[in-house]
Structure 1
């Protein structure tokens, strides 16, 4: 069991990939972790409590907060990592795809972040991080990203607004904008083409993102920032 002195982080989309890496990263910092996703399995680590559910469902957000308070007694950090994408031409998006993407990316952010910030206010501070994508602020002619930009770009703007509203309350808000991250579930045949999208000429690794988030976690004078971890994509070609 944790104690009220231990800091606690909530991580969404935590069952694999970047989310799974973030769970391990926050544990290395000594944080207790509440990890949630639709397919997450129970952890063998007593300082990781898992909550299975769709983050777009307000009931999931309430269960996540309750699990964190019941196990650890507080919430200090939230990483909004869970998201949905629909990569296709703008004219081909369906209403169902629009609802699916905005429900997870926007509704999920709103409900869980509201509840988390309310808890942070009772402890005098905290840190919220949004995981977004580089095309949200730097569109590319060869990538169809209108719907992703609508959802993730909204989160980038909300990051700044949240930072401004709650800075005086000790709550920081930042974002990390990703390039293309290596995914073991993606066929290797695509990697060379995807790597070439970055001026650095390689794919990003999960550890690149984890390092960026943990930097922001410890950077007490940084708020309202978007840290681009995208191999130079946002700088242009």
Structure 2
């Protein structure tokens, strides 16, 4: 794969950080984003390679953050080849306790953030004549867990799945590919934020009887960024979570 300029949102920890790390290791230019300036600066220093790394602090739910990401990529590296929409929030809350303000948080950050960042990136990709967008969804859209009530984030992620296929359809003729990664349980800080102290206890949800690692997601993102004939796909990266179950 030729050297590309890659934007990764939500890149200060977890999956986003792993994705940024792998693309840097493979010699690409990377623009990382996070809402927390402290966390982003820490990751920026840790990753090094500052000749090929830029950072943009900002709330991805605000369209101006998307514009700044594109401006930074162009100013530093002259192109926007790949956008990886990873930034998002996820937590469990019983459906009957969800109010309008709570739901809006997920729609604003997860769905609108992906929507408007994609819009800003596609405007530049159309000028370049090609591009790739990779959205991070969740396997829970296709296979919910009764003991994990998460209607607000799952609905917002379902919108991302739909957006992925719609954008692939609208912009395929312009050589812009849009795909999604639908992870199962991945070992990341997200588990602790949801009160899960032992993520490995969830291994039985997957046919492989283990949880995934952030590098698994990064490796699939790298493949999708380089493939020139895959678009409109939502790929389950779930250890068999959707495919079937073990008998208890």
Task: Give unpaired runs (5+ residues) of structure 1.
Answer: none
How many residue pairs are counted as aligned between the two chains? 233
1:26-80: CA deviations, max 9, x gaps?
1123221110011211444221100011111112111111111110111000000
The answer to whether the 8 A contact 2:15-2:188 is kept is no
The whole-number CA distance in structure 2 between the counterparts of 1:210 and 1:48 is: 17
Q: Could you tell me how far 1:188 is from its partner in structure 2? A: 7.5
Which structure exhibits the higher relative contact order, with contacts defined as CA atoms closer than 8 Å and separated by 6 or more residues?
Answer: 2
The whole-number CA distance in structure 2 between the counterparts of 1:176 and 1:158 is: 13
Partner of 2:230: 222
The whole-number CA distance in structure 1 between the counterparts of 2:116 and 2:197 is: 39
Partner of 1:165: 170
Partner of 2:20: 23
Q: Could you tell me how far 1:176 is from its partner in structure 2? A: 0.4
Q: CA RMSD in A?
A: 1.7
Partner of 2:107: 102
The answer to whether the 8 A contact 1:172-1:222 is kept is yes
The 3-state SS of whatever aligns with 2:137 is strand
Partner of 1:11: 8
The 3-state SS of whatever aligns with 2:212 is coil
Q: For 1:25-174, what aligned pairs fall within 5 Å after superposition?
A: 25-39=22-36, 40-41=40-41, 42-43=44-45, 44=48, 45-174=50-179
Given the alignment of the two structures, is residue 195 of structure 1 paired with residue 203 of structure 2, yes or no?
yes
TM value normalised by structure 1: 0.93
The answer to whether the 8 A contact 1:79-1:129 is kept is yes
Query: For structure 1, which segment, 89-98 or 66-75, has the greater mean C-alpha deviation from structure 2 after superposition?
Result: 89-98
Q: Could you tell me how far 1:112 is from its partner in structure 2? A: 1.0
The whole-number CA distance in structure 2 between the counterparts of 1:90 and 1:227 is: 27
Q: Could you tell me how far 1:113 is from its partner in structure 2? A: 0.7
The 3-state SS of whatever aligns with 1:86 is coil
TM value normalised by structure 2: 0.89
1:172-212: CA deviations, max 9, x gaps?
00000011111257377432432222221111101111111
Q: 1:179 aligns with which of 184, 194, 203?
A: 184
The whole-number CA distance in structure 2 between the counterparts of 1:141 and 1:56 is: 29
The whole-number CA distance in structure 2 between the counterparts of 1:227 and 1:145 is: 21
The answer to whether the 8 A contact 1:86-1:101 is kept is no
